[in-house]
C-alpha cells in the first residue's frame, strides 16, 4: 500500500501537548470532523501526516518508473495511450499529495530532497523490475487493486487536504485496475507465449503485492494511534486478507494460478488461508535492497539534476520580467 507506515518499528515519540487542546482535538476527530491546515493539531499528528502523505506522494512518483519502462514498447496505439495516461495520472496524484503535505508546513523541495537522499521511504513494490508487457497488466490489476483498497477509506481521513486529494485520486484511478486486468485477461486467453508471460508476471508480483499492506499487525506499533486519528482505517492484516479474498477468484476467472501452495479456502472463516509472507525480504526492500532500488533512485536523481537548470532559468526569467514591469511603471 502506498500509505503503509514504513517508518520502522519504533513507537512514535510523545511530545508534551496542552491537555485541553489535545482533548478538544481528539474529540473533533472522534466525531468525524475534518481538521484543516490552520487548525490546532498535536505535533505528532502533523509529523505522522507529513511522513505518511509524502511517502504516499513519493510512491506515486517512483511508481511512474516501472510502468514508464513500457510506454515506448506498448504493443498497440490504444495500449500506448492508456498506459501513458495512467502513468501521467500517477504524476498528478503525486502532485496532489505533495500539495496536501505542503499545507502542513513542509516544502516540495524538502520532500524531494528527503526522497533523493534516501531518508524518505516509498512503497516497496516499485523496487521490483517490469520485465515483460504482462507486468503492466499485473501492476494495474494487483498493485492498483491493493492501492485502491487502502485509498477508498482514506477519502474520509481526518485531515481535510489529504481527504480531498484522496477523493480526486480515487475518482481518477477507477480505470487503472480495470485496464490492468484487461491486459491480463487478453494475455491469459492469447497465445501460449502470452499465457506464459501472464502467469510469470503473477508469479513475480503476487508476494510483493501482499507486502504492500505493510508488516503484520503485531509488528505495526503505530496502528492504534493512526486508526484513532483516522489516518488509517483498517489494519494491515485485515486489508491483506481482503485483498487475497478478492484477488484469488479474479485470477481463477482468467485461468491463472496464484503462486501459493498453502492457499486454501477456509469454510469456517469464510476466507482464504494463505502462506507466510517472506518478511525478511520485505524489511530488506524497505531498507533499500530491492532488486532495482538503485535504478529507481538513480532515475529520480538524474531527472532532478538534469532539470535544475530549467527550473532555475524559469525562475530567473520571472524575476527579470517582474523587474522590467516594475521599472516600466
Partner 1 sequence: MDALVTYALRLGDDSLVLGQRLSEWCGHAPALEIDLSLANVALDQIGQATHFLALAGALESKGRDADQLAFRRDVMDFTNCLLVEQPNGDFAQTIARQFLFAQYQTLLFAEMARVKDERFAAIAAKALKEVSYHATLASDWVVRLGDGTEESKARMIAGLDWMWRFADELFLMDDVDVAAINAGAGVDKAALTAAWDSRVDAVLVEARLERPPARRAIVGGRSGRHSEHLGHMLSEMQFLQRAYPDAEW
Partner 2 sequence: MSDPNKEWPLWEVFVRGKGGLSHRHVGSVHAADAKMALEHARDTYTRRMEGVSIWVLPSAQITASDPADADALFAPAEDKVYRHPTFYKIPDGVTHI
- Of 87 and 212, which has the nearer Cβ to partner 2? 87
Write each residue from 162 to 201 as x if it is in contact with partner 2 (CB under 8 A), else as -, in one continuous string. ---x--x---x-----------------------------
CA dist., res. 227 & res. 235, Å (int)? 8
Whether the Cβ atoms of residue 136 and residue 99 lie closer than 8 Å to each other: no
Tell me the number of residues near partner 1 by CB under 8 A.
46
Kindly state the DSSP code that residue 276 receives in the 8-state scheme: P
C-alpha cell at 287: 531498507
Whether the Cβ atoms of residue 183 and residue 140 lie closer than 8 Å to each other: yes
Whether the Cβ atoms of residue 244 and residue 210 lie closer than 8 Å to each other: yes
Judged by beta carbon distances under 5 to 8 A according to partner kind, the member of partner 1, partner 2, none in contact with residue 96 is partner 2
Pick from 8, 59, 55: nearest CA to 282: 8
Q: Is 268 near partner 1 (CB under 8 A)?
A: no
Tell me the number of residues near partner 2 by CB under 8 A.
30
Q: Is 24 near partner 2 (CB under 8 A)?
A: no
Stretch that binds partner 1, among 189-197, 236-244, 257-265, 278-286 (CB under 8 A): 189-197
Q: Where are any strands of DSSP class E within 180-279? A: 264-266, 271-273
Considering only residues 42 through 71, tell me which ones interact with partner 2, judged by CB under 8 A: none
Q: Is 279 near partner 2 (CB under 8 A)?
A: no
Tell me phi and psi for residue 36, to 5 degrees.
-110, 165
Write each residue from 286 to 315 as x if it is in contact with partner 2 (CB under 8 A), else as -, in one continuous string. ------------------x---x--xx-xx
Residue 271 three-state SS: strand
Question: Nearest approach, Cβ of 75 to partner 1 (angstroms)?
Answer: 4
Whether the Cβ atoms of residue 184 and residue 138 lie closer than 8 Å to each other: yes
Contact footprint for partner 1 (CB under 8 A): 61, 64-65, 68, 71-81, 84-85, 87-88, 91-92, 94-95, 98, 133, 183, 186, 190-191, 193-194, 299, 302-303, 306-314, 316-317, 320
Amino acid at each position: 500500500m502506498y500509505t503503509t507506515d514504513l517508518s520502522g518499528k519504533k513507537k512514535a515519540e510523545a511530545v508534551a501537548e496542552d491537555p485541553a487542546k489535545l482533548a478538544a482535538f481528539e474529540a473533533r476527530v472522534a466525531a468525524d470532523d475534518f481538521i484543516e491546515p490552520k487548525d490546532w493539531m498535536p505535533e505528532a499528528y502533523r509529523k505522522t501526516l507529513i511522513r505518511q502523505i509524502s511517502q504516499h506522494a513519493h510512491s506515486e512518483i517512483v511508481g511512474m518508473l516501472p510502468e514508464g519502462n513500457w510506454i515506448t514498447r506498448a504493443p498497440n496505439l490504444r495500449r500506448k495511450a492508456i498506459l501513458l495516461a495512467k502513468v501521467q495520472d500517477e504524476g498528478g496524484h503525486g502532485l496532489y499529495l505533495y500539495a496536501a503535505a505542503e499545507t502542513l508546513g513542509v516544502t516540495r523541495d524538502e520532500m524531494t530532497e528527503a526522497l533523493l537522499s534516501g531518508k524518505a521511504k516509498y512503497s516497496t513494490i516499485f523496487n521490483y523490475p517490469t520485465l515483460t508487457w504482462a507486468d503492466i497488466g499485473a501492476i494495474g490489476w494487483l498493485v492498483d487493486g491493493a492501492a485502491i483498497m487502502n485509498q477508498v477509506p482514506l477519502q474520509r481521513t481526518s485531515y481535510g487536504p489529504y481527504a480531498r486529494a484522496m477523493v480526486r485520486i480515487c475518482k481518477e484511478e477507477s480505470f487503472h485496475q480495470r485496464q490492468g486486468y484487461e491486459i491480463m485477461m487478453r494475455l491469459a486467453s492469447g497465445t501460449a507465449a502470452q499465457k506464459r508471460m501472464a502467469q510469470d508476471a503473477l508469479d513475480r508480483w503476487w508476494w510483493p503485492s501482499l507486502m504492500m499492506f505493510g508488516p503484520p499487525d503485531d509488528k505495526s506499533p503505530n496502528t492504534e494511534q493512526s486508526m484513532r486519528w483516522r489516518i488509517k482505517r483498517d489494519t494491515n492484516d485485515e486489508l491483506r486478507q481482503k485483498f487475497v479474498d478478492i484477488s484469488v477468484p479474479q485470477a481463477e476467472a482468467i485461468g491463472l494460478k496464484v503462486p501459493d501452495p498453502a492457499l486454501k479456502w477456509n469454510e469456517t472463516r469464510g476466507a482464504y488461508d494463505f502462506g507466510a509472507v517472506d518478511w525478511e525480504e520485505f524489511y530488506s526492500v524497505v531498507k533499500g535492497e530491492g532488486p532495482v532500488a538503485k535504478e529507481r533512485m538513480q532515475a529520480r536523481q538524474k531527472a532532478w539534476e538534469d532539470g535544475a537548470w530549467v527550473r532555475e532559468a524559469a525562475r530567473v526569467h520571472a524575476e527579470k520580467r517582474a523587474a522590467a514591469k516594475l521599472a516600466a511603471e
